[in-house]
């Protein structure tokens, strides 16, 4: 758990520092290159610093050890952080989309000043940088199974999409097709809103004790049935708990076994599951007697 926290904090700090420098770089290029789109994009990059701080707090709280008031741990704090980031991402998408719609409605795109080449170069650098941040954060999020970190990865992707919009807008303005700028903003808005809703629904599933995937449950069944002494699996229930899961399983064993022998089988099942699947928070095993025909 400590290693997981360190990996999450490391990627968060790295991307946060990167966003600060990228935001300053884009603002300067936007100002010099006479690009309002690039200046707005720099503010979007700065907002990623806030989202990363939320992720770091969420990771820290989620990795706190069990205490008297929270005997089952704090893993769901990550879901709360994912909730916050999904809302923040949704608002960002709405803001970008409304900006494009307003410009089209007010027929204001004709007043957009043609930017210079430095703004175009800055947008390309921004896209590449944010894509690197996205894939880096995403890989670590998948490795440590962090919802909050995955949400932050999508926030980096939203910034990359915003920069693509800036690139289209800047290119269009330089070529005289100024309407491309607001249209690109609307398209980006749709992508960002979809990502925010996906993150939100995933966090909801993990807050309401949704079961694990059918494939995961089937793997557990096959693992348990191979253990000596297990005659059958009577019931298996799973529930997600943040980035962890609880497993409750009932198995049948020979009714003539002693209590000690039955306990040893149950302990073997418990240890096998928890050691094989690191995402297991706890496994509870119940033994049922079964008549074995001789």
User: Cα dihedral angle (127, 131, 137, 141), rounded to 10 degrees?
Assistant: 130
pLDDT, tens digit, for every residue of 232-267? Answer: 999 999 988 877 889 999 999 999 999 999 999 999
The whole-number average pLDDT for the span 204-226 is 87
pLDDT at 3: 67
Of 20-29, 141-150, 264-273, the least confident: 141-150
pLDDT at 268: 94
- Using pLDDT thresholds of 50, 70 and 90, give the confidence band for residue 161: confident
pLDDT at 104: 77
pLDDT at 269: 94
DSSP bridge pairs for 253 = 289
20 CB neighbour count, 10 Å cutoff: 14
What CATH fold (topology level) applies to the domain 2-207? Alpha-lytic protease prodomain-like (1.20.1510)
> What are the distances in angstroms from CA 60 to CA 2, 146, 148, 199?
10, 12, 11, 20
- Using pLDDT thresholds of 50, 70 and 90, give the confidence band for residue 112: low
* The CATH homologous superfamily of the domain defined by 214-290: Cation efflux protein, cytoplasmic domain (3.30.70.1350)
For the chain, the structural domain boundaries read 2-207, 214-290
pLDDT at 113: 62
Q: What is the 3-state secondary structure (H, E, C) of the chain?
A: CHHHHHHHHHHHHHHHHHHHHHHHHHHHHHHHCCCHHHHHHHHHHHHHHHHHHHHHHHHHHHCCCCCCCCCCCCCCHHHHHHHHHHHHHHHHHHHHHHHHHHHHHCCCHHHCCCCCHHHHHHHHHHHHHHHHHHHHHHHHHHHHCCHHHHHHHHHHHHHHHHHHHHHHHHHHHHHCCCCHHHHHHHHHHHHHHHHHHHHHHHHHHHHCCCCCCHHHHHHHHHHHHCCCCCCEEEEEEEEEECCEEEEEEEEEEECCCCHHHHHHHHHHHHHHHHHHCCCEEEEEEEEEEECCCC
The whole-number average pLDDT for the span 99-116 is 71
pLDDT at 284: 93
pTM of the model: 0.66
Q: Inform me whether the pLDDT recorded for 185 exceeds 80.
A: no
pLDDT at 122: 84
* Alpha carbon distance 215, 222 (integer Å): 11
pLDDT, tens digit, for every residue of 118-152? Answer: 878 888 888 899 899 999 999 988 888 777 788 78
The whole-number average pLDDT for the span 221-226 is 93
pLDDT at 233: 93
Average pLDDT for the chain: 82
Contact between residue 58 and residue 149 where contact means Cβ atoms under 8 Å apart: no
């Amino acid at each position: 758990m400590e290693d997981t926290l360190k990996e999450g904090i490391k990627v968060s700090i790295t991307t946060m520092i990167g966003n600060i420098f990228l935001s300053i770089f884009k603002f300067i290029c936007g100002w010099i290159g006479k690009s309002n789109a690039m200046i707005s994009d720099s503010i979007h990059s700065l907002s990623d610093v806030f989202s990363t701080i939320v992720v770091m707090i969420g990771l820290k709280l989620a990795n706190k050890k069990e205490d008297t008031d929270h005997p089952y741990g704090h893993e769901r704090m990550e879901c709360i952080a994912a909730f916050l980031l999904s809302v923040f991402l949704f608002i960002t998408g709405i803001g970008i989309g409304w900006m494009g719609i307003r410009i089209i409605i007010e027929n204001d795109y004709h007043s957009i000043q043609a930017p210079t080449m430095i703004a175009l170069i800055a947008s390309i650098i921004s896209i590449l940088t944010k894509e690197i941040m996205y894939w880096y954060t995403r890989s670590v999020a998948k490795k440590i199974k962090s919802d909050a970190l995955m949400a932050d990865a999508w926030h980096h992707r939203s910034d990359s999409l915003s920069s693509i919009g800036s690139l289209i807008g800047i290119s269009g303005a330089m070529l005289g097709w100024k309407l491309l700028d607001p249209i690109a903003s609307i398209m980006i808005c749709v992508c960002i809103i979809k990502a925010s809703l996906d993150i939100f629904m995933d966090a909801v599933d993990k807050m309401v004790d949704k079961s694990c995937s059918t494939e995961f449950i089937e793997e557990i069944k096959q693992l348990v049935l191979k253990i000596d002494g297990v005659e059958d699996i009577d019931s298996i229930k799973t529930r997600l708990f943040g980035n962890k899961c609880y497993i409750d399983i009932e198995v049948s064993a020979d009714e003539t076994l002693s209590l000690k022998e039955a306990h040893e089988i149950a302990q073997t099942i418990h240890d096998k599951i928890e050691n094989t699947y690191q995402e297991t928070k706890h496994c509870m095993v119940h033994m049922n007697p079964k008549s074995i025909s001789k």
